[in-house]
Amino acid sequence: MAVIDVSMTDAPRETTVARATQERRAAWALTAPALILMVIVLLAPVIIAGLLSFTNYSLGNSGFDWVGADNYEKLFTRSTYEKMFIATLTYVVTVVPLSVGLGLGAALLINTLGRFREIYKTIYFLPVMATLLAMAIAWEFMLHPSIGMINRTLEATCGTPFEVVPFIANGCADRFPLWLGDKRYAIWVICFIGIWQGFGFNMVLYLAGLTSVHRELYHAAEMDGAKSAWDRFRLVTWPALGPTTVFVVTISCIRAFQVFDTIEAFWPQGGGPNKSTYVMMFAIFEKGIQQNLIGIGSAITMLFLAFVMFLTLIQRWLVERKVHYK
């Protein structure tokens, strides 16, 4: 009652304005903790890294000099970093399409299964759950040039009809590849392990996506004359998986850019034979942590962030424009 009296008689306008200001202040006060936390935890490190990338700072040094774009210039001129870009892009361009394709294929196959579905799902998902570092040790044993399971198996094929394959014939005549020690094979081994490890994850995402495909759409497609599995896939399944695919590809790209554990496990020093597996994450680790060159490490980090940001923006754009069918 009193409130109404005041606002009605005295100065209704002023009261409203005052209340609005007060509400605005309360709103800021309430969001402040979240905002501050976000700035400290998420934004500040990025900004600091961005600033450091223009310096020659090393941890422990009392001061540093601004070096302008020197660090970035090095990134684009030195041959080590050229190798870094080649290794990273080779890895991303190989692992992403193959792990997404295999994930989709496995999901489609498993989706048609009735009884053994859960078993297959678990088996394919096992490498995802296992630590890559531990798995890398197992792979290292298997890939050992002389006592490893892989070369032993290959040697067993010598003298059999398998020798018509040039690769095996060469191996038998000379020797089988050193795998991790050979700069021609090292990056592909890493790619293979990346695919082996990652496609189960994509498969699970696709399986979730497949449950949202409206069953009646397949019936409609059948009535409309889509007879082959390919027609049904094109008309119903693939469009329905659009949002899932965008997500899976983005996640796979980011994971591929982040590859590190296998390389660190196989070649703790140096990034593979002739730096053939010197990927970005490893470069950041080597420069920024092992060699304490914070400036150049920060510059690579910024580049890495730029790639990831770019991918995320593409994803958002695709999701909003293309695949939500609204």
Partner 1 sequence: MAGLSIENVTKRFGETEVLKGVSLDIADGEFVSLVGPSGCGKSTLLRIIAGLETQGAGSVRIGGTPVEDQRAADRNLSMVFQSYALYPHLTVGENIAVPLRMRRLNGVQRLPLVGGLMPGTRAVAREIGQHVADAATMLEIGHLLDRKPGQLSGGQRQRVALGRALVRDPAAFLLDEPLSNLDAKLRVQTRAEIAQLHRRLAATFVYVTHDQVEAMTMSDRIAVMMGGRILQCAPPDVVYEDPDRIEVAEFIGSPKINILPLEILPDGRLSLQDRALDLAVVEGARGVASLGLRPEALRLKSGDSPLRGRVVHSENLGSEMFVQIDVADLQERITLRATPEQRGALALGTPVALDFDLHKALIFDADGARIRRLRHLNAAASEVA
Q: Tell me: does residue 211 bind partner 1 (CB under 8 A).
A: no
- Asked if 87 contacts 275 with a C-beta cutoff of 8 angstroms, the reply is yes
Q: Tell me: does residue 127 bind partner 1 (CB under 8 A).
A: no
Q: Which is nearer to partner 1, 184 or 324 (CB)?
A: 324
Which of these ranges, 57-65, 155-163, 172-180, 213-221, lies near partner 1 under the rule CB under 8 A?
213-221
One-letter amino acid of 92: V
Which of these ranges, 14-22, 220-228, 268-276, 288-296, lies near partner 1 under the rule CB under 8 A?
220-228
- Asked if 250 contacts 315 with a C-beta cutoff of 8 angstroms, the reply is yes
Of 239, 265, 273, 307, the residue at the interface with partner 1 (CB under 8 A) is 239
Token reading at 111: 């989706």
What distance lies between CA 45 and its chain's CA centroid? 21
Q: Which is nearer to partner 1, 115 or 326 (CB)?
A: 326
Task: Find residue 55's DSSP bridge partners.
Answer: 66
Q: Which is nearer to partner 1, 127 or 239 (CB)?
A: 239
Q: Tell me: does residue 227 bind partner 1 (CB under 8 A).
A: yes
193: left (phi over 0), alpha (psi -120 to 50) or beta: alpha
Residue list 166-195, contact with partner 1 (CB under 8 A) = none
Q: Which is nearer to partner 1, 219 or 316 (CB)?
A: 219
- For residue 71, count other CB atoms closer than 10 A to its CB: 23
Coil, strand, or helix at residue 212?
Answer: coil
Of 98, 142, 217, 311, the residue at the interface with partner 1 (CB under 8 A) is 217
Nearest to residue 139, comparing CAs of 129, 126, 124, 149? 149
What residues make contact with partner 1 under the rule CB under 8 A? 214, 216-217, 219-228, 230-231, 235-236, 239-240, 242, 323, 325-326
